[in-house]
Every structure is written in structure tokens, then in C-alpha cells.
Amino acid sequence: MTSTALRSRAWKLLEMVTTPLLPSDYLDLVSPLRAGADLRGRIEAVHPETGDAATIVIRPGRGWRGHTAGQYVRIGVDVDGVRLWRAYSVTSPTNSQDGRVAITVKAIPDGKVSNHLVRRAKPGTLIQLDQATGDFVLPRAKPAKVLYLTAGSGITPVMGMLRDTEFDDVVMVHSAPRPQDVIFRDELHALVADQKLRLTEVHTDTDGMLDIARLYELVPDWAERETWACGPAGLLDAAEKHWAEHGVHERLHTERFRPGIVVAGEGGEVTFSGTGKTVDADGATPLLDVGEEAGVLMPSGCRMGICFGCVTPLRAGAVRDLRTGEITEAEPGVLIQTCVSAAAGPCDIER
Amino acid sequence: MTAIDPTAHLTAKQIEELGRELDAIRDEVIASRGEKDAAYIRKVISAQRKLELVSRGVLLFSFFPPAWIIGTAGLSVAKIMDNMEIGHNILHGQWDWMRDPKIHSTTWEWDHVSPADQWKHSHNELHHTYTNVIGKDNDLGYGIMRVDEDQRWHPFHLGQPLWNFINACFFEYGIAAYDLELGKNLRKRRRNNPEFRARARAVGRKIRKQVLKDYVIHPLLSGPSFLTTLAATFTANLVRNIWSHSVIMCGHFPEGVQVFERRSIKGETRGQWYLRQMMGSANISGSKAMHFMSGNLSHQIEHHLFPDLPSNRYAEVAVKVRALFEKYELEYVTGPLPKQVFSAWRKVVRLSLPNKKPKVKTPDREQELLAA
Ligand code: FES
């Protein structure tokens, strides 16, 4: 018998020993970062960067496959006991010797996860991890000239690139409200001092928003540069338009952090993506009824919120709990009780 | 149905007000659920797993009597924790709000022969919706006993103290059969109904796995301690079964608990539903350890009012609920475990004999509501 066959036999036996749990449920108690476990990470350090940004150093589990500069990673963090998932750019270089990865997080107003990470996260905490992904990365072939156009926390994926790959001719135009809000400012200035980077800081509190037309003056050869841009939607929209108008859109690579913003309202169009049905719903009718009326086979039980026999994944949009008024937004893994939830805007129910 | 309706003094308006006050208690807990609660359930789960591991480890040497005693005691407690504070409550969705897929009503499986999804249907859905409604809530006597004067007596009931005792010893099998509605399905010749067969097969698989684990694999692993480990696991299962049966009997059987007629729940309002839960459940008083080992089902009244609130919060909720009982002059049925168990057993014995049908006086709330 081969060793893999032996191992799988042994594993089967172990499963019989631990049924109805799995051996991994016990192993997780002692070794949550081992190879073969669900991917997790342990926070090892939290370094403040600015007043509202911090770098979180994470020791990933053995299953971590590494990242490419510019990519992001989704992490699941328990905030007030609730597991929430968010994506953050990896800011550590790809060749870090100690096997740790870092993300840099800027606390956004009312941001549950970002504020938690920046202000409350403690070394030693376990978090959930996904493998790094994203195609906002550098090409294999080195471009001769590079422009990084960033604003606010849009600097984070670019910092990963800057720390990872040296180019002969790099310009960065970075916007932040005030000098002290520039994340990684010391490091950027050190690069400038070493003549590895030319940097223009735009301080929007005093200079106003960056007008994309000013690029001519800040970076006269912008059109010849391979450009990576990351920041708020306004900046990226303007850049995309500008690059397209000048017929050089293939040189521009952009990264948008929050593609869909959920607007919670009263009622909306409900899609049952399993069956492909779409109907209008008001803000007071339980989604269970909405689905049944549309002829969708909905699981149900008590119809009053106590049996949890109707829980169904919410794939997109937002719903309102009819008992408490609480809004739940779609996130991977979010399940809702359809008998006590109504549409709070357009939403997509996996049925 | 007792001859005298203990809620007769309440007006429809008062009942709705009571409902609103209970809703407010619920909202308060929901708004304050957080990190501490999450840490609590994680700690309990981890403690349970460690206790089970250690106990099973000790039982490898169970030919040595002290090891047998310690291992059996530990395993009994671990099994009780798995079923009561952890399994029952997670399967109620009490911890779904944490969004941890590993501690979730849709993924949890327990050390019990009834598969989680079947139990969720018969317990969460049928029992919790139709609490104590004769003919709708099969938890009333589990279909094998007569627990109210108004249920028709049959000579079969003469044996019910014995059935109840056997049920207590093999409670998890009783529950599995009950979740399958075995009696009804066999009687009605649904043996070949594909849906029933699929469910029966699922139970069969679960039983096979559990039996293999407890009575074959672990004893075999113990080598020379084969027989003593077998005896230990059997004992632990017996202890767990009798314990959970006793706790559960205390929830709805003791004297003072009301049962309801089918027609009394027609058009039931939220307030009336709450009131039925209040009158249809009974608590067990006792120490923190007692509450914990009962999976907080000692707070049965609170659990029935708010089955999806995290179990660790029932104790604080109980204080407020009890105040409402007093305010509305209702009887909060509670007592120490021995007293409640005795009371439930006495009822089982008493109702094994026929009785004169009492005069029934049911409240006519519909009328009252229409008038309001
Ligand atoms: S149907 Fe029972 S909770 Fe929704």
C-alpha cells in the first residue's frame, strides 16, 4: 500500500474515532495554523502609521501560498463577536524572510473592521484568511518608466509594489488631506533621498483635490509611463477618462477598493438567483412570502423567526429585520431568516 | 386545559402590552450581544472537546478502577455539554449571529443519534411553534404518554411509567424515533414512502457511526481495557440520556403547566403566543452549575419566549421575565430539580390511570379581541 493510501486509511479511522466531529476540530484547538487547516493567520504586531492607519503584521498558516506585489487579501475578523470579511492590500514585500505578511489599514468613518484593526486589534489574535488575489500587479517585463498615482489608502497596494520591485524611473503623485495623513511618509521620503523615487505630495486640505489636467505640469511625460492608479472612485474615473482621451488607456491600471456600495432603502427588486426569478418587493413583506408568491421553492418552518428553518444565503444587497429594524448587508457567508426579513433595497437571494 | 384558566383575568389589551414588554427585553439582549458572548460559547466548546479527549484518554486504562470512574464521569459530563449547552442551543440558531460557519445552526452536528436537521424540524419548528398544543406538539408525551386529563385514556397508558423509564434510559434513540415520527409513519404504512425512507436511512447511518465509535472503536483502542471501556461508554450514554430526559421532562410536564386546545391558537396574536409560552413552560431553580449542565433549559420559560437568544443570557433575562409574571399576576412555575422531576413523574403515574373528564372552561379571546 502506498503511503498516501495508508494515510487516508488512518485518517478514515481517526474520523470514526471523532465522529460526528472531524479530527481537524480537535487539531484546531492546538494548532490552528498547521498545514491542511482552513487558512488562518495570527496577528503578531500592530504598528501605527498615521493617526488613523496601522500596519498589521500577520503570521499566515502553513497553507499560505504567498502573494504578488499589488495584490490584496481577504481577512475575516471577529468584531464584537461577529465575523466580518474585508479585503486589504498586502504591503509587505513578497520576499520577506520571516514568512510574515503585512496589510495596512486606514480607519474609515463608521468602518467596523477598519476601526477595529487600527485601534483595537491585539497581537495573538487569530483571524481568517483567504489566499491573496487581484490582478493589480506589475508585469513580468519591467517597464522603462513608471507612474504611481494614488490617494489616501490607495497607496497601500502601491507600497507593496514599491517595496518589492525597483525601477529605474519611478514617479509617484500621492494625495492626502495633510502631510501627517500620508501613510508611509518617512519611508517614501527615504526613497526620495536615495533617489529611488520622485514624489509629489498633494495636500488636498490646502491644495484642493488633484485636477487630473495638472498631471502635465507634475509629470510632463505621464503618457509614456506605465501607470498604476489607486484611490477613490472620483480620481480613478477622472484618470480613466483622461488616459482614454489621450489614447493611452492600455498604460493605465486601476484598482477600486469598494466596487458595490449597498444603499439600504425600503423595498426593492428581489432576485432569486437560483431560479432566475426577479420580482418587486415592498419593505414590509417578508422575503419568504415574496419568494413563495413568485413560485420559488422556499424552505420554511415556523414563519415567525424562531425555528431557523428558512435561513438562506443573501448574495447581494441588503435586508431589514422586520422585528428589530436591523439592516444586514450581503457578504460572503451571510445567511438571513427570510420569514422575518424584508428587502431594504435591491437584493439577491440564493434560491 | 385546567378547569380554571389562569390567564382569565387578562384583557386582550393587557396581553398585547405584555407582548410589547417581552419584545423590548429581547431587543435589549440583541443590541448588547457581542464579544463576551462569542468568547463564552467558544470557551464552552473548547472545554467540552478537551474534556472529551482527556476522558477518552483516561478510559484507555479503564481496567484500572479509578481510571474507569474518572473517565466515565468526565465522558458523561462531556456528552451532556455536547447535547445541552452546545448542541441544543447552536441548533436553535442562538449563535448564528456570530457568522462563524463552524458554530452555526446550518452546519453543526452533535453526539446524538438523531441527525441535526431532523431534530431541528421536529424540535425548533413543531415543538417551539405549537408548544403544548394537544395534537400539534408531540413533545407532550412524545406520542407514547398521556400527560393531560383531557387526553383520551387507553389501556396502553397503564404502562406509561415503564415506557417513560425506558425512554429515559435510551432517550437519544427515543428522540430519533420521535423525530422520524416512527410510530405514525409505520402505522400509516408509509414504510415505503421515499421521503420517509431517506430520513430513516440518515438516522441509520448516524446510529451506525455513533455505535461504531462508542462501542467498537474506542473499546478496541483500549486493548486490554476493551470491556471496561465499553461499559464506561455505555454508562456515560446512560447518564447523559437520563439527565437530559429529566431536564426536559421538567420543562413542560410539572404540575401547574398549562396545555392548550388546537382551536385556542387559531389567529393567535404575538402577545397570545408569548402568553402560551409563559403558561406552557416550567423552570428549574438551582446553582450556576445546574443551569449550565441543563444547557440553560432550566430557564425553560425564557428559552420558550426567546428560543434564539444566546443561552448564557437567559439568567439575566429571567429576572425581567419573572417581574412581568408578577406584574400580570401569572404563576411562574419553578422549583429545584428533584421537586420538578418528582412532580413530572407523579403526573405520568397519575395519568396512566383513567380520570373523570373535568369541566373545561376555555377562554374565548377571539370574542374579546373582536370587541377590543
Ligand atoms: S421559518 Fe422559522 S425562522 Fe423563518
With a cut of 50, say whether residue B370 has pLDDT above it.
Answer: no
Q: Do B35 and A78 touch (CB under 8 A)?
A: yes
- Identify the pLDDT of residue B184: 83
CA A303/CA A319 separation, integer angstroms: 17
Ligand 1 nearest-atom number relative to CA A308: 3
CA B56/CA B214 separation, integer angstroms: 10
pLDDT interval class at A263 (50, 70, 90): low
Portion of chain B with pLDDT greater than 70, in percent:
95
DSSP 3-state assignment of A70?
A: coil
B251-260 as b/e, with b when 16 or more CB fall inside 10 Å? bbbbeebbbb
Average pLDDT, chain A: 94
Q: Which residues in chain A have their CB less than 8 angstroms from residue B111's CB? A: 20
Q: Taking the CA of residue A113 as centre, how many other CA atoms within 13 Å lie in the half-sphere pointing to its CB?
A: 16
The grid cell for B237 is 450514554
Opening angle at CA B157, ends B153 and B158, nearest 5:
115
The grid cell for B98 is 456570530
> Using the 8-state DSSP alphabet, how is residue A106 labeled?
E
With a cut of 80, say whether residue A199 has pLDDT above it.
Answer: yes
- Identify the pLDDT of residue B190: 78
- Looking at residue A289, its amino acid is D
A26 to chain B: closest CA residue: B49
DSSP A29-69: HH-TTSTTSPPEEEEEEEEEEETTEEEEEEEE-TT-----T
Q: Taking the CA of residue A188 as centre, how many other CA atoms within 13 Å lie in the half-sphere pointing to its CB?
A: 25
pLDDT interval class at B367 (50, 70, 90): very low
pLDDT tens track for B42-84: 999 999 999 999 999 999 999 999 999 999 999 999 999 999 9
The Cα of B229 is separated from the nearest Cα of chain A by a number of Å equal to 14
Q: Do B33 and A81 touch (CB under 8 A)?
A: yes
CA B282/CA A290 separation, integer angstroms: 37
Q: Which residues in chain B have their CB less than 8 angstroms from residue A323's CB? A: 23, 26-27
The arrangement of strands across the sheet holding A169-176 comes to A198-203, A169-176, A145-151, A226-230, A252-255
- Identify the pLDDT of residue B371: 43
Mean pLDDT, range A277-306, rounded to an integer:
94
Contact A87, A72 (CB under 8 A): yes
With a cut of 80, say whether residue A119 has pLDDT above it.
Answer: yes
DSSP 3-state assignment of A347?
A: strand
B356, with CB counted inside 10 A (0-12, 13-18, 19+), is: exposed
A325 inside 8 A of chain B by CB: no
pTM confidence score: 0.93
Mean pLDDT, range A256-275, rounded to an integer:
80
Portion of chain B with pLDDT greater than 90, in percent:
82
- Looking at residue B158, its amino acid is L
Nearest to A81 among B34, B102, B221 (CB): B34
B370, with CB counted inside 10 A (0-12, 13-18, 19+), is: exposed
Contact A345, A281 (CB under 8 A): no
pLDDT tens track for B112-157: 999 999 999 999 999 999 999 988 888 887 778 888 887 889 999 9
CA A161/CA A159 separation, integer angstroms: 5
Mean pLDDT, range A86-101, rounded to an integer:
94
Q: Do A306 and B34 touch (CB under 8 A)?
A: no
Opening angle at CA B99, ends B94 and B104, nearest 5:
50
pLDDT tens track for B173-221: 999 999 998 888 888 877 788 999 999 999 999 999 999 999 999 999 9
The ligand 1 site (C-beta within 6 Å) comprises A 300-303, 305-310, 337, 339
Ligand 1 nearest-atom number relative to CA B129: 2
Task: Report cis status (omega within 30 of 0) of the bond before A313.
Answer: no
A331, with CB counted inside 10 A (0-12, 13-18, 19+), is: middle
Q: For CA atoms B299, B303, B306, B307, give the dihedral sign.
A: positive
Mean pLDDT, range A81-100, rounded to an integer:
94
DSSP 3-state assignment of A248?
A: coil
ipTM associated with this complex: 0.92
